[in-house]
Amino acid sequence: MKPEWKEWAQEAKAEFPKANSALLPLLHRIQRAEGWLAPETLSDVAELLNLPVQYVESVASFYSLYFKQPVGKKVVHVCVGLSCMLAGSDELMHRLEEKLGVSQGQTTPDGAYTLLEAECLAACDLAPVAQVNLRYKGPVPPEKADELLKEEVSS
């Protein structure tokens, strides 16, 4: 457990009437700092908020934006919703996989990229749409896969 987590837990708790409401913001804050949420981190958070580990694990596993495995510096989400699929997201994903040499759901060995699929990102006007570290990019036709990977974004 990092010493600052205790402070963060206090700050998160102060914003809500009940401790379990502080869970999501605290997990986000720790993930921002650590990059991902290790099983031990979840136990630590449970202890900090005085919640059962079971509850924390259940919540953390429910939301796909909490990473339970280490991720790369850039996390690329490719939307696989209906509109994006009609606009060629399959091909986009395929090219990204080829370029990065990993399958969707995986991280490149150098730790630079993590490639993930996302269900509808609610930006059909930008189809096929993608996110790099949660920033919307689109439309990204398959041939622009290279450019997508070169996008400079803050982490």
Partner 1 sequence: MIADAAAKLGIDVPVYCYHEALGPLGACRMCLVQVEKMPKLATACTTAVSEGMVVHTRGPAVDKGRKGVLEFLLINHPLDCPVCDKGGECFLQDYTFQYGPPAGRFEEPKIQKVKDGPINEFILVDQERCVLCQRCVRFMGEYVGEPQLLLEGRGVETVVTTVDHEPATSQFSGNVIDLCPVGALLSVPYHHKARPWNIEREESVCTLCPVGCTTLATGRDGHIVRIEGRPVPDRSWGWLCDRGRFGFDFAVNPSRLITSYLEGREEAAARTTRQVGQWLRDAVSQHGGNSVAFVAGGLHSTEEAYQLNRFAREVVGTERLAVSRDVPGYLPRGLNGTFADIDDADAVVLIGTDPYESVPVVHLRLRDRARALPSLKLMGVAPRSLSRETLRVDTLVTHVGQEAAVLAAALSDAARGHAVLAELVSNGLGDLSGIDGEALAELGSTLVNSEHLTVLWDGLEADVEPVLVALQSVRGDKPTRVLPTWGPSNWRGFERAGFDARIESLTGILEDARDGKLQMLVLWGADLLREYPDQELVRQAYARVPVLVAESLFPPAGHESFKAILPQAGPGEVYGTYVNMEARLQVAMPSVQPPGQARPTKTYVTAWARAMEKPFVLQEDWDPYDDNSGDLVPEESVPREVRPIAPASSAPDGYELITGVLVIENGIPSDFLKPRVPQYPGRISPSDADRLGIRNQAVIKLSREGREMTAAVAVDPAMTPGRIYMPLGLADAPVNALGTGAVNVTVIEEVHSA
State how far the Cα of 59 lies from the Cα of 31, in Å rounded to an integer. 14
User: Binding to partner 1 by residue 120, rule CB under 8 A?
Assistant: no
- Nearer to partner 1 by Cβ, of 46 and 124: the residue is 46
39 belongs to the binding site for partner 1 (CB under 8 A):
yes
Using CB under 8 A, which of 34, 57, 97, 151 touches partner 1? Answer: 57
Least spacing, CB of residue 109 vs partner 1, in Å:
26
69 contributes a contact to partner 1 by CB under 8 A: no
Does the footprint of partner 1 cover residue 61 (CB under 8 A)? yes
Closest C-alpha to 34, from 76, 5, 54 = 5
**Applying CB under 8 A, does 19 fall inside the site for partner 1?**
no
Cβ distance to partner 1 smaller for residue 16 or 63: 63
Beta carbons of 155 and 144 less than 8 angstroms apart: no
Long-range residue pairs from 45-48, CB within 8 A, at least 24 positions apart, any chain: 45/5, 45/9, 47/1, 48/1, 48/5, 48/6, 48/9
- How is 89-122 classified by DSSP, letter by letter? HHHHHHHHHHHHTS-TT-B-TTSSEEEEEES--S
- Other Cβ atoms closer than 10 A to 127: 22
Of the residues 54, 125, 150, 152, which one makes contact with partner 1 according to CB under 8 A:
54
Number of residues counted as binding partner 1 (CB under 8 A):
12
**Binding test (CB under 8 A) with partner 1, winner from 6, 7, 50, 63:** 63
Tokens standing for residue 31: 């993930």
Binding site for partner 1 (CB under 8 A): 39, 43, 52-55, 57-58, 61-64
